Chains A and B, each alone.
Chain A
Amino acid sequence: MTNLLPLIRNECTKIIKKKRFYVILLILLVLVPMFTYAQMRIAERSRDKFNSDWRLEIQQRITDNQNSLSSDRIPEEWKSYRRIFIQQLQYYLDHDVNPNEPSGVTFTREFLDNSVSLFIPLLIMAVASDLVSGERTTGTIKMLLTRPVRRWKVLFSKMAALLMFVSLIVLSVFVISYLISGLAFGYKGFNIPVFTGFQLSGDTVDMSGVHSVPQWKYLLMQGGLIWFVSVVVALLAFMVSVLVRSTAASIVVMMAALIAGTILTNMAAAWSTAKYLFMVNLGLTGYLAGTPAPIEGMTLPFSLAVLSVWGLAAIIISFAVFTKRDILN
């Protein structure tokens, strides 16, 4: 009749002592300054070019994109993507709001948009992929499962610890990217307005639902979506680590799935059933920003539903397999 709390404590101790979480923090501390520097160079260049007038810059980007529309060499899909982009830029210009106002908060927002479908899932995998398979690789699973504790409790405690660390990782990404980019761009910018609610149909944008939210609120919404994506990825990685005996195999399986996702989002527009795969649905924050979904028919509720089903299936499979399986070696 062992309580669950001591078990969860055990699992947290193991994750911390294995130094996985420190490695994740270290990766962030190395990579975020790199991205910040790159962003700084971009900002510098456009300042030189447009004399610090962001309206000129936006106008230039609109013209560039419009010119490219007349080219025959550009595929039709890209053209519709650009038409949408032009309409959104025009909207910002009409309402006199700079979409790229340089600040630590803006950097964080953009960095998170770009990292939600690959970078953050990779960080999550660093913890999730060896939670069960790691115990099997080292053989400690035998010690773990010969104690007077039901197997589902052991697995539940691992899952609970994982969800705690997933939340911690998402939070760390936010905090670290804000703190580091703030050094370069300043820590202000929480109240800059951001437009959200673009309704896309074909290559026209329905502006009727567009409204502005302060950037801090936008960040919170983004955070919620990223947390949800991270939890689903964590559950899937966890399931793989239950199913596969070695940690290496477990990481490779998840990596392959994630990378397949990024490849598919770039080419699967024609294959519409691909929208039921979890990996093309990871870009939830794109719905907030109004970037077109990779496949026709994908909306925020649709993606949330698809991810929920995958996450739920992962939980069911993990428990069903873990509680029944013979530990042969």
Chain B
Amino acid sequence: MAKERGAEPSDIVLSVKGVRKKISRKWIIDDVTFDVKEGEIFGFLGPNGAGKTTTIRMLVDLIRPTEGTITVCGYNVNRNPEKALQYVGSIVENPEVYTYLTGWENLQHFARMQPGVDEQRIAEVVDIVRLDQRIHDKVSTYSLGMRQRLGIAQALLGRPRLLILDEPTNGLDPKGIKELREFIRKLAEGGLAVFVSSHLLSEIQLLCDRVAIISKGRVLAVGGVDELVARNSPYVLWDLAPVPAARSILEEHAGIRLLGLDEVTLDDSVIAGMGGGSVITAMDEALIPETVAAMVAAGVAVNAVHKINPTLEQLFLKLTEGESID
């Protein structure tokens, strides 16, 4: 067992290498590779059916990979689950707990399944997720948000070094999502590595340090959120009148490219707000003042100039070529 440790630098908590999974002669997961480091929040993005849940299930030994290795803190998850899973707390899909037991009994149940968790630790995690008021009630009386918190309490019981949350914002209201985000950040500041899967890209962008984008069982990109976003240039949205004169000015200007609606990926709310005078360009933002000056000189009314920063969603849509994300 000792020789399995120390293969990687110690700050890598989770390492996934060349993992593939074949289910009934079809490759569901085709080459997934990434590392998660200590204290980082790692986002796992992909449309439904991309293989997110299958990958997560492989991380916690619910599914065995056909090829490749998954190691947690140096221990192979599939060959040595008793060691590796000690460092992992997880909620796979919904936080499913025993509804006929109380919250406390549920935690006792899971505490008995791992070494070194006593009543005091149970009280601690109950405190962390602020469930102390209702912990002795039957779980069947809990709201979804409370079950979610009980699930997190369960995941934290064994003082894990890696926390795996599968779609944690599912079914939470905006306030709950905001709370969860702060909570996850706090955990990561304490040195915990957090692995979050989601299809809500804006959530991930706000929360994560690094992300992996997966589609059709393949990891398309891994990297820091800022770094990935920087691959896309910002858009500038103009509201001009009259449009034909304005377009010719923009076309003449070097470094400005006019874009049609079908060439860009924008939020629906932005598209809905566009009127007849709207023109979309891809350009360096430093060019904006002189372009405005040129417009004014030519007698074109500039009603609005709106810079749209690139988002993860744009990158995501570009990478997955418009595959549905729902």
What DSSP secondary structure best describes chain B's contact surface? loop
Quick one: which of B82, B90, B101 has the most chain A CB within 10 A?
Answer: B82
Do the beta carbons of A146 and B158 come within 8 Å of each other? no
Do the beta carbons of B60 and A146 come within 8 Å of each other? yes
Q: Which residues of B contact A256 (CB under 8 A)?
A: none
Q: Which residues of A contact B76 (CB under 8 A)?
A: none
- For chain B, residues 63 to 103, give those with C-beta under 8 angstroms from any C-beta of chain A: 63-64, 81-86, 88, 90, 92-94, 96-101
Do the beta carbons of A145 and B61 come within 8 Å of each other? yes
Quick one: which of B90, B92, B94, B113 has the most chain A CB within 10 A?
Answer: B113
State which of B23, B54, B96 has its C-beta within 8 Å of the C-beta of A139. Answer: B96
Further 10 A-B residue pairs, CB within 8 A, beyond A1-B82, A146-B85, A149-B114: A6-B112, A13-B105, A139-B94, A143-B110, A146-B60, A147-B110, A148-B82, A148-B86, A324-B64, A327-B57
Of the A-B pairs whose beta carbons lie under 8 Å apart in the complex, a sample of 23, sorted by A's number, is A1-B82, A2-B113, A2-B115, A6-B113, A10-B109, A14-B101, A17-B105, A138-B99, A142-B92, A143-B97, A145-B61, A145-B62, A146-B61, A146-B62, A146-B88, A147-B114, A148-B83, A148-B84, A148-B85, A148-B158, A149-B114, A326-B23, A328-B63
Do the beta carbons of B158 and A10 come within 8 Å of each other? no
| Residue ID in chain B nearest A6 by CB atoms | B112
**Chain B: minimal CB distance from A58 (Å):** 53
Q: Which residues of B contact A2 (CB under 8 A)?
A: 82, 112-115
State which of A138, A143, A149 has its C-beta within 8 Å of the C-beta of B154. Answer: A143
Q: Which residues of A contact B158 (CB under 8 A)?
A: 148
State which of B88, B96, B114 has its C-beta within 8 Å of the C-beta of A142. Answer: B96
- For chain A, residues 144 to 191, give those with C-beta under 8 angstroms from any C-beta of chain B: 144-150
- For chain B, residues 29 to 73, give those with C-beta under 8 angstroms from any C-beta of chain A: 54, 57, 60-64
Q: Which 3 A-B pairs have the closest CB atoms?
A: A6-B112, A139-B96, A147-B113
Do the beta carbons of A326 and B85 come within 8 Å of each other? no
Do the beta carbons of A326 and B113 come within 8 Å of each other? no
With known contacts A140-B96, A143-B154, A150–B112 Cβ distance under 8 A: no
**Chain A: minimal CB distance from B257 (Å):** 47
Q: Which residues of B contact A7 (CB under 8 A)?
A: 112-113
**Chain B: minimal CB distance from A190 (Å):** 41
Judge if A9 is at the interface, Cβ distance under 8 Å: yes
Do the beta carbons of A14 and B114 come within 8 Å of each other? no
Judge if A47 is at the interface, Cβ distance under 8 Å: no
With known contacts A140-B96, A140-B97, A150–B82 Cβ distance under 8 A: yes
**Chain A: minimal CB distance from B92 (Å):** 5
| Residue ID in chain B nearest A328 by CB atoms | B63
Judge if A211 is at the interface, Cβ distance under 8 Å: no
Do the beta carbons of A146 and B90 come within 8 Å of each other? yes
Q: Which residues of B contact A14 (CB under 8 A)?
A: 98, 101, 109
Do the beta carbons of A139 and B93 come within 8 Å of each other? yes
- For chain B, residues 105 to 128, give those with C-beta under 8 angstroms from any C-beta of chain A: 105, 109-110, 112-115
| Residue ID in chain B nearest A142 by CB atoms | B92
Annotate A1-34 by CB proximity to B: 1 below 8 A, 0 otherwise: 1100011011001100111000000000000000
With known contacts A7-B112, A9-B112, A327–B63 Cβ distance under 8 A: yes
**Chain B: minimal CB distance from A167 (Å):** 23
A146 to B154 Cα, complex, angstroms: 11
Do the beta carbons of A10 and B112 come within 8 Å of each other? yes
**Chain A: minimal CB distance from B97 (Å):** 7
With known contacts A14-B98, A17-B105, A150-B81, A142–B93 Cβ distance under 8 A: yes
A139 to B92 Cα, complex, angstroms: 9
Q: Which residues of B contact A326 (CB under 8 A)?
A: 23, 57, 62-64
| Residue ID in chain A nearest B138 by CB atoms | A17
A310 to B127 Cα, complex, angstroms: 50
Do the beta carbons of A17 and B101 come within 8 Å of each other? yes
Do the beta carbons of B100 and A17 come within 8 Å of each other? yes
| Residue ID in chain B nearest A140 by CB atoms | B96
Q: Which residues of B contact A146 (CB under 8 A)?
A: 60-62, 85, 88, 90, 92
Do the beta carbons of B115 and A327 come within 8 Å of each other? no
Q: Which residues of B contact A150 (CB under 8 A)?
A: 81-82
Do the beta carbons of B96 and A148 come within 8 Å of each other? no
**Chain A: minimal CB distance from B111 (Å):** 9
Do the beta carbons of A10 and B94 come within 8 Å of each other? no
With known contacts A13-B105, A139-B94, A142-B62, A148–B113 Cβ distance under 8 A: yes
Do the beta carbons of A149 and B92 come within 8 Å of each other? no
A150 to B78 Cα, complex, angstroms: 10
With known contacts A142-B93, A327-B63, A149–B82 Cβ distance under 8 A: yes
A139 to B97 Cα, complex, angstroms: 8
A19 to B98 Cα, complex, angstroms: 13
Quick one: which of A1, A138, A142, A145 has the most chain B CB within 10 A?
Answer: A142
Quick one: which of B57, B63, B99, B112 has the most chain A CB within 10 A?
Answer: B112
| Residue ID in chain A nearest B158 by CB atoms | A148
Q: Which residues of B contact A147 (CB under 8 A)?
A: 85, 110, 113-114
**Chain A: minimal CB distance from B79 (Å):** 12
A127 to B308 Cα, complex, angstroms: 61
**Chain A: minimal CB distance from B95 (Å):** 8
Q: Which residues of B contact A9 (CB under 8 A)?
A: 112
A93 to B247 Cα, complex, angstroms: 117
A274 to B113 Cα, complex, angstroms: 44
Q: Which residues of B contact A17 (CB under 8 A)?
A: 98, 100-101, 105
A145 to B58 Cα, complex, angstroms: 12
Annotate B131-164 by CB proximity to A: 1 below 8 A, 0 otherwise: 0000000000000000000000010001000000
